[in-house]
Amino acid sequence: MRRGRHDAVTTQVNGGPHVVVIGGGFGGLTLVRELARARRRGRLRARITLVDRHNHHTFQPLLYQVATAGLQPQDVGISLRAILRRHGIEIRLGTVTGVDATRHVVTLSDGSELAYDRLVLAVGAITEDFGVPGVAEHAFGLKSLPEATTLRNELLRRFEEVSADRARSDDGTLTFVIAGGGPTGVELAGALAELVDLVVRRDHPTLDLERVRIVLVEPRAQLLGGFSARSGRAALDGLRRRGVDVRLGVGIAGVAADHVELTDGEVVPTRSVVWAAGVAASPLAAALGVELDRGRRVPVDDHLRVRGLDDVFAIGDLAAAIGADDRPLPQVAPVAIQQARHVARVLVDEAAGRPTRSFRYRDKGAMATIGRAAAVAELPGRVRLRGLVAWVAWLLLHLLMLVGFRNRVAVLLSWVWNYATYDHSARLILDQREAATAETARGPVPRSWAV
């Protein structure tokens, strides 16, 4: 019997293997649900454990709407236990820091170990700063609910600061810089422009909103680099009509607390920089002890096994799976979902003694919204949609992809309200740092649990 330091246990359960899935994002959540479905149908005997550092699944494509007060955090997040409680999936809250493929155990940040027979890494990606000085210290990220709510707090606080002191209008407080012209950057820029024009204008009627600058910086010559040039131009025109200052062919050379320096030498005063310029594979990839590709992603074979480790699979942003064009597949949700379903089939086929098929990704297209009633969509068969039709298609697709009926209803109602009233109702400044200090008669007292 294999045992780890604290709680690694025998993995064989009723003759079935212990499948451990790390990560409750699109890939990991899809995989454990597919495995649970196969187990209910008698096609698989296995114990299934999902490990994640958060207790919830996050619908990342809509985080920018949380950041711009269009949606509540709970609209795009749902408890993993709520999703999986009827599936017989064990859930472990924790951060995996290491993998011992020889002993078949993973190590968690609390020092405990979890044994596995089959391991699937679906840990996603982290923000890639490309070595630009100051990004980690001063820029806002947008990959988690805490980051989205923190950004919302800061965006709303900027307008309150200028309302209290009009001299702040000229020191960069009302300048917002977004780094990266991919879907996240474009969607955030459009949503922020509409927040200012439709909501802030009414909330702060005495502010001179002509002082507000939204600057979108993209080093390449086109927005939405994975789309056609025509879609890129449509995004560019749509953002400029909304007052966004789009800089193409210009990157960020450095970020400070009160300004950014662009690669063309210009210095832009700002206290709000959002980094949406790229992603990198999770640092957990380095713990596998295998040679990584240039993007620090894990090389996998045609069945999505980590090369050299027969019992370990990698899917989603972590996996350097090669597509039909001999290039690594993009780090997007549809790839992770399709890979998760493939690994589930591989595990079921292995259990039945059947040969396994190679993974083939089917590109179902891409979409990006520019703002109210404006979007671009590129679908298989060279179908290109723009404007209102593309926007409606974008809305429907994201509603279908959301996990949980309550979340779908909540998001739909919020979208209807926002569209009908030109309002964003989720504009609360909720700073968790406030709770770290107790206000008492003898003065502020730091709370021990916040230290």
Q: Does the model's pTM come out above 0.85?
A: yes
Please say whether the dihedral angle defined by the alpha carbons of residues 433, 437, 440 and 443, taken in this order, is positive or negative.
negative
- The model's pLDDT over 184-231, given as tens digits with 9 standing for 90+, comes to 999 999 999 999 999 999 999 999 999 999 999 999 999 999 899 999
Residue with tokens 């090369």: 307
Per DSSP, 54 falls in state S
356 secondary structure, DSSP code:
P
Structure tokens at 308: 């050299």
Q: CB 250: neighbour CB atoms within 10 A? A: 17
Q: Domain extents for the chain?
A: 18-53+94-127+280-352, 135-277+365-421
Question: What is the 8-class DSSP label of residue 197?
Answer: I
Kind and range of the H or E run holding 234? helix 229-241
Which residue in the list 187, 194, 218, 378 is annotated as catalytic? 187
Separation in Å, CA 38 to CA 22, 31, 80, 288, 349: 19, 11, 19, 28, 11
Between CA 319 and CA 121 the distance in angstroms is: 9
* Residue 221: other Cβ atoms inside 10 A: 11
DSSP string for residues in 98-154: EEETTTTEEEETTS-EEE-SEEEE---EEE--TT-TTHHHHPBP-SSHHHHHHHHHH
Residue 266 appears among annotated catalytic residues: no
Pairing assessment for the beta strands 213-218 and 77-79 based on DSSP bridges: unpaired
Positive or negative, the CA dihedral 26, 31, 32, 36 is positive
Eight-class DSSP state of 167: G
CB of 121 closer than 8 Å to CB of 101: no
Fold match between domain 18-53+94-127+280-352 and domain 135-277+365-421: yes
Residues (pLDDT < 70) of the chain are 1-15, 451
Report the CATH fold assignment for 135-277+365-421.
Answer: FAD/NAD(P)-binding domain (3.50.50)
| CATH fold label, 18-53+94-127+280-352 | FAD/NAD(P)-binding domain (3.50.50)
Helix (H, G, I), strand (E, B) or coil at 286: helix
